[in-house]
Amino acid sequence: MSKTIKIEPNLQFVKELQEVGGADLKKCYQCATCSVACPMSPADNPYPRKEMVWAQWGLKDKLVNDIDIWLCHNCGTCSELCPRGAKPGDLLAALRNMTYRKLVKPAIIGEWMSSPKHLPILAGIPMAIFAFIWMIRAALVGSFFPLTEDGKIVYGNLFPGDFTIDPLFGLVAIFVAICFGLGIKNMIDGFKANVTETFVIGYKKPTLKDAIIATIKYDVLQHSRFKNCVDSPADEERVKGHQILFYGFVACAIVTSIVAVALWGGKVIPWLAPVGHTPMPLWHPVKILANVGAVLLVTGLTLLTRRRLNSDTKKSVSNYYDWYLLGVIWVVTLTGIGAQVFRLAGVAPLAFFTYYLHLVSIFMLIAYLPWSKLGHLVYRTTALIYARYIGRLPIDEKLIEDDKIFVI
């Protein structure tokens, strides 16, 4: 006896989806060209055809808990080959954008991230915070652009790390970690309710440790699956830019960690204090690593921005989420470089103002991370780990290179 399935379309969800990038979803007439053309789509229960059906029907719960929207790397091949111009790639990107907004509370931040009209709020919060610190500190030291006794610019004289900047960003980091933790829990709960384990006979089920190691090794460090998602020089440039940008972030994260550990650890272990003393001379190993990271960031950003500016509109369409992320990272990078250049040049007003903007942009990058496109660093990685753990993706490198998915 056949089982009756009750479907309750969410028409408001369809409207929201169209507004954030899925405007052409109703053009789809289910030819399955997208799933056949996708180099990443597994043979079992392939995407993005099913996502197009669910989107047209307004099946919100199935879509927001769909693991496959995170396995897509948005190469745009499906959109380019779609005979109706339905742009399935843009639909999956729109679904990810909606998930960023709604996966974790406070939901208001997700709403602010969804439209440029809220950008003054997102920027205004850190601008007010750091302007307040600047004014209070300036009143204490007697100058808005304080110099040392020998006439040098030291940003710590205006924005002290030990009792203003580090505690502030420490609290922000804790807030972001809690939000990501809740987001990951919500994501996995959704996967458990909607994704079925699939394994071939004789294929040993991986442990969670196996899945984590494989994902970090192949997807995070080597970009193996991402590299399979290439069918043009523009796609190669995108992968290269993404990987270079990633390692630029890694370099800067290492530098920040060394300075923070030295600053706070030096209060307990005195010999650590000189390690992170700033400003550092240009020949200092940590400073060299910081400048290498800056070069990598500029290179990666240039490749990704050029690719986005020159992208074929039939293949993909840029949205606000894309440009917000690129814009904030550009500001972080250029103000970081500018703060160093103006400090070395001894131009105090420009140096301190540039450093102020640098702090504002870093806050915008980090504090809103769980609701921004950069949140894919956590959410996509979580989805890839879970997909390997349940057999949706292969564990070993050869299967990744051949993009072979085994199912029972």
| pLDDT tens per residue across span 113-132 | 888 999 999 999 999 999 99
| Residues 231 and 87 grouped into a single domain | no
Q: Which of 42, 74, 102 is the last residue of a domain?
A: 102
Instruction: Note the pTM of the prediction, 2 decimals.
Output: 0.87
Binned at pLDDT 50, 70 and 90, residue 249 comes out as very high
| Residues 59 and 197 grouped into a single domain | no
| Residues 156 and 282 grouped into a single domain | yes
| Residues 94 and 138 grouped into a single domain | no
Report whether pLDDT(400) > 90. Answer: no
Classify residue 183: in a domain, yes or no: yes
Number of C-beta neighbours around residue 134 at 10 A: 19
Structural Rg of the chain based on CA atoms? 24
Residue type at 72?
C
Domain hosting residue 69, numbered range: 11-102
Classify residue 6: in a domain, yes or no: no
Classify residue 212: in a domain, yes or no: yes
What is the spatial distance between Cα 243 and Cα 251, in angstroms, rounded to a whole number? 13
Q: Give the model's pLDDT for residue 103.
A: 85
| Residues 71 and 148 grouped into a single domain | no
Classify residue 83: in a domain, yes or no: yes
Classify residue 30: in a domain, yes or no: yes
What is the spatial distance between Cα 309 and Cα 304, in angstroms, rounded to a whole number? 9
Classify residue 29: in a domain, yes or no: yes
Residues near 254 by beta carbon (within 8 Å), at least 6 away in sequence: 289
| Residues 179 and 96 grouped into a single domain | no
What percentage of the chain exceeds 70 in pLDDT?
90
CA torsion, points 73, 77, 80, 85, in degrees to nearest 10? -60
Mean pLDDT lowest for which of 159-168, 316-325, 352-361? 316-325
Classify residue 1: in a domain, yes or no: no
| Residues 373 and 261 grouped into a single domain | yes
Domain count, the chain: 2
Inter-residue contact 137 to 160 (CB < 8 Å): yes
Q: What is the mean pLDDT of the chain?
A: 85
More confidently predicted of 224 and 313: 224
| Residues 304 and 178 grouped into a single domain | yes
| Residues 21 and 44 grouped into a single domain | yes
Mean pLDDT of 58-82: 87
| Residues 120 and 87 grouped into a single domain | no
DSSP state, residue 206: P
Of 288, 217, 220, residue with least CA distance to 252: 288
Instruction: Please state at what angle helix 11-19 crosses helix 49-57, rounded to 10 degrees.
Output: 120
How many helices (H) and strands (E) in the chain? Answer: 18, 0
Q: Give the model's pLDDT for residue 182.
A: 94
Binned at pLDDT 50, 70 and 90, residue 175 comes out as very high
Classify residue 407: in a domain, yes or no: no
